[in-house]
Amino acid sequence: MESIALASTSLDAYRGLVRDELIADVERLARPLRGLRVVHLNATPTGGGVAEILRSLVPLMRGIGLRADWLVLSRDLAFFAVTKRLHNLLQGKPGELSSGEQEVFLRHNELMAAELARVVADVWVIHDPQPLPVIATHPNLHPSIWRCHIDTSTCSAAIRDFVLPFVTQYDRVVFTLPEYVFPELDREKTLFISPAIDPLVAKNIPVDREVARRLLHKLGIHPRRPLVTQVSRFDPWKDPMGVIDAYRRARQRVSDLQLAMVGVMAAQDDPEAVTVFDEVRRHAGSDADIHLYTQALQVGDIEVNAFQSASEVVVQKSIREGFGLTVTETMWKGLPVVGGRAGGVAVQIRDGETGFLVDSVEECADRIVLLLQDRDLAERLGRAAREHVRHHYLMPALLRDYLSTFQVLVGMRRAA
């Protein structure tokens, strides 16, 4: 198990970016919690939205006086192959874990629980299914939260039956949306918290559009031709084939259109990505205007920022999506997103007001063309999108929601 070394971030750094009332709420909630020892546990330190959130949230918790730490699971390829499969099953893919897969999953968590037994915490926050079972063999993992970031609205009864004995042992269970909640769960223990982005990190700071275009030019993007981009893992749930098909239909009406698909494969917990990328590359064929980016050394946070800032249209054509932080990031930059009508994407995008929601390749292509041809509409939607993120999905709002939950858990502990 690895402890991630982090500094602290002052809440004052967010003044002017979020409402003053939100800053005041955080300060009020933080006062009685100063000195609280909070430990977050998740699968990996990089790759994916959870790691990005914790890299900003934990320092901000420290900045308001909490003793917050972030631990990640030990690396094990067989374990992460199983947890990727479990992730897909929870999101609705048909099937079950074999007895051998269950053994790998549970055994690794037993080992992690033994390591956690040496850690002292006032509150535990366990993120997503990978470390879910640690509570079964940890001697004192209370009070605790299991935070599920994925869309579990269509998982089978068999998969729910497998995970529920662990989920029900937590003092609170946090989902993003009500439709993700397992029907068997005690509703009094269930909470809803939206993820958030950090406007202070390299991926989200303002970048001049011309500077962004010059940076993309070095990566092979023509700086004066319209660009459509999707930033996401190469994952079937993100519908990368549908993105290519929508681009091809849109290009019939916008002949100089380019497509960029940015999906850095740096996360150890996503062994499926290489296979999906190979399928996407074959589907793209010999089209020189379809650009695929997978290497972290080639596309880091600044480059992702440039793609989101310099594109005429950003797409997130997800079929399942727990939340979709790439949607939030793009909206914060003042661009409308064309998103699949799925989970957290549909919550963030107000159709026709801050972007567009689509249900098909044909709809996606039509909305891409509309935004390319009506730049006044694109700018109006983009301005509304940025304000929507400012009010709902920036890091201090996430901190406030966690602090409210911690107060409840601390009260439970004192009562006990």
- Flag whether 60 is in a domain: yes
- For range 3-19, the mean pLDDT: 96
- Flag whether 201 is in a domain: no
Q: Is residue 386 domain-shared with residue 405, that is, in the same domain?
A: no
Q: Which tokens belong to 399? A: 């901190």
Q: DSSP secondary structure string, 188-201?
A: GGEEE----B-TTS
Q: Is residue 301 domain-shared with residue 400, that is, in the same domain?
A: no
- Flag whether 134 is in a domain: yes
Tokens 């920036």 found at: 394
Residue 139 pLDDT more than 70?
yes
- Flag whether 164 is in a domain: yes
Q: Is residue 376 domain-shared with residue 405, that is, in the same domain?
A: no
Q: Supply the range of the domain harboring residue 398.
A: 2-196+394-415
- For range 139-148, the mean pLDDT: 93
Please enumerate in sequence order all residues whose Cβ is within 8 A of that of 55, keeping only pairs 6 or more positions apart, or say none: 4, 6, 45, 70, 201
What local confidence, expressed as pLDDT, does residue 115 receive? 94
- Distance of CA 127 to CAs 39, 131, 146, 166, 343, Å? 11, 7, 6, 13, 18
H/E run at residue 172: strand 172-175
Q: Is residue 276 domain-shared with residue 181, that is, in the same domain?
A: no
Q: Is residue 9 domain-shared with residue 97, that is, in the same domain?
A: yes
Eight-class DSSP state of 13? G
Question: pLDDT digit string (tens) for 306-325?
Answer: 999 999 999 999 999 999 99
Least trusted range by pLDDT, from 28-37, 59-68, 70-79: 70-79
Distance, in Å, from the CA atom of 259 to the CA atom of 135, rounded to the nearest integer, reads 45
Distance, in Å, from the CA atom of 61 to the CA atom of 68, rounded to the nearest integer, reads 6
Percentage of residues of the chain with pLDDT beyond 70 = 97
Mean pLDDT score across all residues of the chain: 94
Number of domains in the chain: 2
Q: Is residue 231 domain-shared with residue 367, that is, in the same domain?
A: yes
Q: Label residue 275 by pLDDT band (50, 70, 90).
A: confident
Q: Is residue 175 domain-shared with residue 288, that is, in the same domain?
A: no
Q: Is residue 182 domain-shared with residue 192, that is, in the same domain?
A: yes
Q: Is residue 221 domain-shared with residue 285, that is, in the same domain?
A: yes
How much is the pTM? Answer: 0.93
Q: Is residue 281 domain-shared with residue 213, that is, in the same domain?
A: yes
- Flag whether 160 is in a domain: yes
3-state secondary structure 45-75: CCCCHHHHHHHHHHHHHHHCCCEEEEEECCC
- For range 260-287, the mean pLDDT: 84
Q: Is residue 183 domain-shared with residue 233, that is, in the same domain?
A: no
- For range 4-31, the mean pLDDT: 97
Is cis: bond before 143, omega within 30 of 0?
Answer: yes
CATH number reported for the structural domain that contains residue 351 in this entry: 3.40.50.2000
Residue 6 pLDDT more than 80?
yes
3-state secondary structure 234-303: CCHHHCHHHHHHHHHHHHCCCCCCEEEEECCCCCCCCCCHHHHHHHHHHHHCCCCCEEEECCCCCCCHHH
Q: How many CB atoms are closer than 10 A to CB 180? A: 21
- Amino acid in position 152: T
First to last CA, the chain: 30
H/E run at residue 124: strand 123-127
∠ CA 89-278-47, rounded to 5°:
60
Question: pLDDT digit string (tens) for 381-405?
Answer: 999 999 999 999 999 999 999 999 9
21: exposed, middle or buried (Cβ count in 10 Å: 0-12, 13-18, 19+): exposed
Question: pLDDT digit string (tens) for 250-271?
Answer: 999 999 999 999 987 655 656 6
- Amino acid in position 7: A
- Flag whether 158 is in a domain: yes
Q: How many CB atoms are closer than 10 A to CB 99? A: 7
Distance, in Å, from the CA atom of 248 to the CA atom of 25, rounded to the nearest integer, reads 48
Tokens 């916008």 found at: 254
Distance, in Å, from the CA atom of 414 to the CA atom of 416, rounded to the nearest integer, reads 5
- Flag whether 223 is in a domain: yes
- Flag whether 203 is in a domain: no
Q: Is residue 384 domain-shared with residue 400, that is, in the same domain?
A: no
Q: DSSP secondary structure string, 296-355?
A: TTTS-HHHHHHHHHH-SEEEE--SS-S--HHHHHHHHTT--EEEES-HHHHHH--BTTTE
